[in-house]
Amino acid sequence: MKSLLSLLLFLAMPVCAGPFIVAHRGASGEAPENTLPAFRLAWEQKADAIEGDFHLTSDGKIVCFHDSNTKKLTGRNLTLSKSTFAELQTLDAGSWKDKKFSGTRIPSLKEVLATVPPKKKIYIEIKCGPEIVTPLLKVVSASGLVDEQIVVISFDEKVVKGVKKERPDWTVNWLYGFNKSTGNAPDRELPRLLSVLKTIRADGLGSSAHPDLRSKHLQTLSGAGFQHHVWTVNDPAVARRFWKMGCRSITTDFPGRLRRELEK
């Protein structure tokens, strides 16, 4: 019954006429990545979805941060998996971007989910291992978001397989970064990628924007029952090419600017 209700609610959502734009770590080109200001700005800029990176803390909380330690952006070197949520809350995660973001904190998954408006989506990138799956299910279930608003993504095959097993109604995509310096990489690697996607029962592939990716590759994925999503694209010409090829979503640091350019 819950699944049917979620589906009916989602079917009532308006269809996006243009490309489906995902804000990479929020509107991270203009606000500190993976913070509430970045996510709120993304919604103001009419992003269709936000994407954030998530880790499990030592006390079982889920926090939004890219690296496994905090040194690069906060100036203090704390390992997320070995730190409590309270300890991480003492860090300034915004000043590195601009003084006006001074005092911005590392948000919890609960806080990030609370920013997601009705009829919008969140792409939850898991940066740690399968140990996060059970806490993740609990937090998302308590958020009030419907299944169709949730997309889980990960480079870790075990995470994808684990989440899909527990929540078959969620969209769960496997991430893969093509080496841009390797010519014709999609031709050579696609057979193996298809095999992995089938084995872990993923819904799709989220990939980097390799210049040799072509319509034929996306058609092969689609023919096998898999979506294709691309990251991280800030060049309108590249975004337009992937949109025309049938890519399901385009992840960008500048959601507002990219949409304006694509609507010209």
Q: State the catalytic residues.
A: 24, 66
CA 89 to chain centre: 23
- Do 48 and 120 touch, CB atoms closer than 8 A? yes
In sequence order, the 6+-apart residues with CB closer than 8 A to the CB of 28 are 34, 38, 253
Separation of CA 17 from chain center: 21
Beta bridge partners of 206: 175, 229
Pure H helices in the chain: 2-11, 36-44, 71-74, 85-88, 109-113, 133-143, 157-166, 185-200, 215-223, 236-245, 255-262
Task: Assess contact for 78 and 88: CB atoms under 8 A.
Answer: yes
- Note whether 16 and 46 are within 8 A (CB): no
Output the CA angle 170-155-129, nearest 5 degrees.
80
CB 23 within 8 A of CB 232: no
Cβ-proximal residues to 239 (8 Å cutoff; 6+ apart), any chain? 19, 233, 250, 252, 258, 261, 262
Q: Which residues have CB under 8 Å from 13's CB, separation 6+?
A: 119, 148
